[in-house]
Structure 1
Amino acid sequence: MGRHGEAVSEAGGRPVYVPYALPGEVIEAELSGSHASLRQILIPSPERIDPFCPHFGQCGGCQIQHWQAEAYRQWKRDLLMTALRNQGVEAEVEPLIDAQGEGRRRATFHVATSADGVIAGFNAARSHAIHPLDNCPILVPALKSAPDIARHVGGVIGACDVAFTASETGIDVDVATARKPTAALAAIVHSENLARLSLNHEPLATRIAPEITIGKARLRLPAGAFLQATKAGEETLASLVVENMGKAKRVADLFCGVGVFALRLAASSQVFAADSDKASIAALAEAVRNARSLKPIEAKVRDLFREPLMARELKDLDAVVFDPPRAGAEAQARQLAKSTVKTVIAVSCDPASFARDARLLIEGGYRLMRATPVDQFAFTAHVETVALFKR
């Protein structure tokens, strides 16, 4: 099974990737370059199971619902092991932790209009065409109405993308479109009983502020802010970060977003937090002001890709956690490698960029103590990692 969730065969001495097939199967497929479309399964794998979603195979949201759990879990762990091995890194990779919980609390529906009406759904498999959906079983129950709301929005404003976040106070909606705001669009916040409706990350109408609880703090979500896809995923990642921090008293949370780690670490540690997103840092600062029983958090806007914390700026810290976007944190990892920080925790959503950053830290004198894969994007080829480095 390849790293994108496609079974790998070969033709003419070259690899061929076949979505929805499994290792060991004999199939008929239609070849198109380096990919092939599954036409018929002649000899199925004993590990094949029936997918639970009727849209599987047409909707591109999930790549793997047809593989037995144990084989699927081992493959996800192997994704991390292979990425590390490709960088020449030896590591203790722990068993995969399931973090799907009750489902995804974030989803973006694509909306299109035609003479036949309004459709909303996810991209079809390996396509930019929209596969219409009336429901999605991997979303949290609070987002059951998301397809209907997306169609309502499309009926008012036309083709758009509608991003949903299930907050603790209600559904937060952010509409991406080139169209200008209208009163009819703003009115949807009340007719659909939303918490807030934003247009291109700018709040348009608010019925109640969308909020979540992080540790001992209450945080008001900025429009369009990044949030872990599942609540269980956030809690699992944060629990591993806090556990690996040990008794560190002065710590930094880099690429901190709204502070899902910083606000928990501040229960016992003084925290410096940095991120390039101004709205997220403002929301974190507000949460700190309103929280009780937390150690100080200094939250700063800083583009850590262009301006990483230098080794000299890290010298007074006991520990650092960094959680960058998919591209990883190469510049910051190089500075950490030059630093005297005793404990570094890497959180990653991409095994390849994580493995590269891990190699840089190891070359700088760190030891990779353990790496834990976390599965919050169940039924896909995505895997998160939390890793502990010591010097």
Structure 2
Amino acid sequence: MPQVKTLEISALGHRGEGVALIDTNRVFIPFTLPGETVRAEIDGNRGRLVELLAASPDRIAASCPHFGACGGCQVQHLTDVEYRTWKRGLVTSQLERAGIVAEVADVVPAHGAGRRRATLHATKTGAGFMSLRSHDIRLLDACPILVPALAAAPQIATAIAAAIGPCDVSFTATDLGLDAAISGKGIKPNAELTRTAARYDLARVAINGEVVLNYRVPTIRMGEADVPIPPGSFLQATSLAEETLAGLVIEAAKGAKSIADLFCGVGPFALRLAGRSAVYAADSDAPAIAALDAAHRKTKGLKAVTAEKRDLFRDPMSPFELNRFDTVIIDPPRAGARAQARELAGTKVARVVYVSCDPQSFARDAAILVAGGYRMGRVTPVDQFLHSAHVELLAVFSR
């Protein structure tokens, strides 16, 4: 049975929850901060804030009226200085656990104009994100962390659900308008969906991966190339984060004559690097590889880009294949790139530029590279997921 207890919050956990101790057991209480005294309803190692008895001096008013109910943001109630310190700590703590000594720079803000991608759960009565620790949908009228082009996303998603039934709608704000990738069981295109798309001037609509309405092929500018984005394709959440990370990658690869871009996606790094060097690019996502190749072929003045579909988890590049490159860039998904890191550790590649969205898997893979003889340079955290417990990072490993 849940019990209500008075507790002192001692730390801010890696998920943005306040941490308290009951005997020697840690309890996690959302929306609380270190130094606060709270009354909380405790169930196992989870808590729910009932009353704030003594607030931290670092507590500020949340910027969104949905904060505390919507599960989209975890930390809107912390001062900017302490927020950046906590975000940097998400990186340093994982490196320490992996036994790695490294210089970690201050966090680089990269929220910019807001997130250009969002997935909303929609019904005919409204749309929003999941509520905290729940499968219930917190209906939204607006979301302040999205780019202005997505301001009407909740209304559009609601209209789509009214047309075809309950569904999830993944929006991407592109250079040619909104792309809507819809997923759900038993949903099909109909005349009302067509009218909805026209009313909101959607560039393209796909259902369960199949394009059903295509008024304009959505594109994103990457360097000198315009990339035709596949439905539901992965992109960095903010355009500023993409530009920031790409700038760091280009600087790290300065002077490289032969580059491999692994887990390349649609080519945010490869297409920019091709302005000065030939690039081999690989990813398991066939539509992303096709988009990269199409963008490269249509862009004048770029060096050669060889784009290949390859599952780097099951079939990582071997030292024999890698040794023809002087610089290798890896930007894996959250699970990291353990198999590829092991192969890289046995190579003569002069530089490895590792971009990560998960400090824990990065620290694990970094330890593999260091054990293989690489020297790890400064780690740069990049914050594109404002108010959340996610952080990107980049580090350069040198022989």
Using structure 2 for the length normalisation, give the TM-score. Answer: 0.96
Question: 1:131 corresponds to which residue?
Answer: 138
Contact 1:110 1:121 in 2 (8 A): yes
The structure 2 residue matched to 1:360, chosen from 368, 389, 393, is 368
Q: Is residue 159 from structure 1 mapped to residue 170 from structure 2 by the alignment? A: no
Return the alpha-carbon distance in structure 1 between the equivalents of residues 210 and 396 of structure 2: 38
Question: 2:237 corresponds to which residue?
Answer: 229
Return the alpha-carbon distance in structure 2 between the equivalents of residues 365 and 103 of structure 1: 39
Matched to 2:131, the amino acid is: A
CA RMSD between the two structures: 0.8
Return the alpha-carbon distance in structure 2 between the equivalents of residues 128 and 234 of structure 1: 31
Matches within 5 A, 1:249-328: 249-328=257-336
The structure 2 residue matched to 1:59, chosen from 70, 76, 94, is 70
Return the alpha-carbon distance in structure 1 between the equivalents of residues 335 and 189 of structure 2: 37
Matched positions, count: 387
Matched to 1:105, the amino acid is: R
Q: Is residue 28 from structure 1 mapped to residue 39 from structure 2 by the alignment? A: yes
Matched to 1:361, the amino acid is: L
1:32 is displaced (CA, Å) by 1.1
Q: Is residue 182 from structure 1 mapped to residue 152 from structure 2 by the alignment? A: no
1:299 is displaced (CA, Å) by 0.1
Question: 1:82 corresponds to which residue?
Answer: 93
2:133 alignment partner, SS class: coil
The C-alpha deviation readout for 1:299-320, integer Å capped at 9, x for no partner, is 0000000000101001110100
1:91 alignment partner, SS class: coil
Matched to 1:166, the amino acid is: A
Matched to 2:355, the amino acid is: V
1:41 is displaced (CA, Å) by 1.1
Q: Which runs of 4+ in 1 moved over 4 A?
A: none
Question: 1:248 corresponds to which residue?
Answer: 256
Return the alpha-carbon distance in structure 1 between the equivalents of residues 150 and 86 of structure 2: 29
1:200 is displaced (CA, Å) by 1.1
Return the alpha-carbon distance in structure 2 between the equivalents of residues 61 and 23 of structure 1: 21
Give ranges in structure 2 of 5+ residues lacking alignment: 1-11
Matched to 2:130, the amino acid is: N
Question: 2:212 corresponds to which residue?
Answer: 204
1:70 is displaced (CA, Å) by 0.4
1:39 is displaced (CA, Å) by 1.1
Return the alpha-carbon distance in structure 1 between the equivalents of residues 116 and 355 of structure 2: 20
Give ranges in structure 1 of 5+ residues lacking alignment: none
2:369 alignment partner, SS class: helix
Contact 1:29 1:36 in 2 (8 A): yes
Contact 1:186 1:197 in 2 (8 A): no
Matched to 2:274, the amino acid is: A
Identical columns (%):
50
